[in-house]
Chain A
Amino acid sequence: SQQGEEDPQALSIQEGENATMNCSYKTSINNLQWYRQNSGRGLVHLILIRSNEREKHSGRLRVTLDTSKKSSSLLITASRAADTASYFCATHEGAAGNKLTFGGGTRVLVKP
C-alpha cells in the first residue's frame, strides 16, 4: 500500500487560478518530495522539503510541511494550461531507506 495519499484525486480549474493539493503520510520521514507527471511520461522532480522545514518556495510553487500532522500541501499559483498533469508526493524515510514511497496522485486539469 502507498504511504502518501493525495487529496483531491482530481482537480479542474481555470487558467490563472491557484491549485492546491494535499498529501498525508504515515511514518517518520527524512524529506518529502513533489513530482509532476505529464500523461504517459516520466516523473519530473518539482521540489523537496526536509523534515525540519515548514515551507519552501520555487517559482510559482509553494510547499508546506506539517510533521505533527504528517501532511504536506502543494500550491501552484497563477496556473497555466501547461500545468495540466498528475502531481505526486513522495516520502523518503531516511538515509537507510533509500526508496521513495509515492501517493496515488492528484490529476490537475487547467482549462484555458
Chain B
Amino acid sequence: DTGVSQDPRHKITKRGQNVTFRCDPISEHNRLYWYRQTLGQGPEFLTYFQNEAQLEKSRLLSDRFSAERPKGSFSTLEIQRTEQGDSAMYLCASSLPPGRKNNEQFFGPGTRLTVL
C-alpha cells in the first residue's frame, strides 16, 4: 500500500496521559498536514510541514500539542496531559509541492483518540 498510513488507528487513554501518533506520508510528497475532526464536523487544520520545517500552526494547536517531522519523512503528533476535549479523529495528509497536481492532499485513515 503506497498511501498515507497512520498508527495507531485507535487510542484510548486516561485524562492526563500523554499520547503520540505517527503518520507516514506518500514517499515523494514533501508536504505533510495534520487535521483534527470531531464528531459530526469537518476536519480542522492543525499544522503542516514542508520537508522537516513546520511552516504553519493553527491557534487550535495549544502548548500541549507538538508535532515533528525530523527527517522530512514520517511525522509524529504528541498530545501532553490529555483532556476529554482532545477526543477526536486526528487525520494526516500529504501532498506534492505547489504547482504539482494542484496540491491535492491525500489523507490517511486517521487515528481516533478517546480520552476517558
Interface residues, chain A, CB within 8 Å of chain B? Answer: 2, 4, 31, 33, 35, 40-45, 48, 50, 88, 90, 92, 95, 98-105
Contacts and interface: CB of A to CB of B under 8 A. Distances in A.
Nearest to B33: A99
Given A4-B42, A103-B42, A105-B42, A45 B110 contact: no
Contacts, number: 65
A25 to B, nearest CB: 12
Nearest to A2: B42
A43 B41 CA distance: 13
30 contacts: A4-B42, A40-B112, A41-B109, A42-B107, A42-B108, A42-B110, A43-B93, A44-B107, A45-B105, A45-B107, A48-B102, A48-B104, A50-B102, A88-B43, A90-B42, A95-B98, A98-B55, A98-B56, A98-B98, A98-B103, A99-B56, A99-B58, A100-B43, A101-B45, A102-B35, A102-B43, A102-B44, A103-B42, A104-B40, A105-B42
A44 B108 CA distance: 9
Given A42-B109, A92-B103, A99-B33, A105 B41 contact: yes
Which of A2, A88, A100 is most buried by chain B, counting CB atoms within 10 A of its CB? A100
B106 interface: yes
Given A48-B104, A98-B31, A99-B33, A2 B110 contact: no
Nearest to B41: A104
Contacts of A40: 89, 112
A41 B42 contact: no
Which of B42, B91, B106 is most buried by chain A, counting CB atoms within 10 A of its CB? B42
B74 interface: no
A104 B110 contact: no
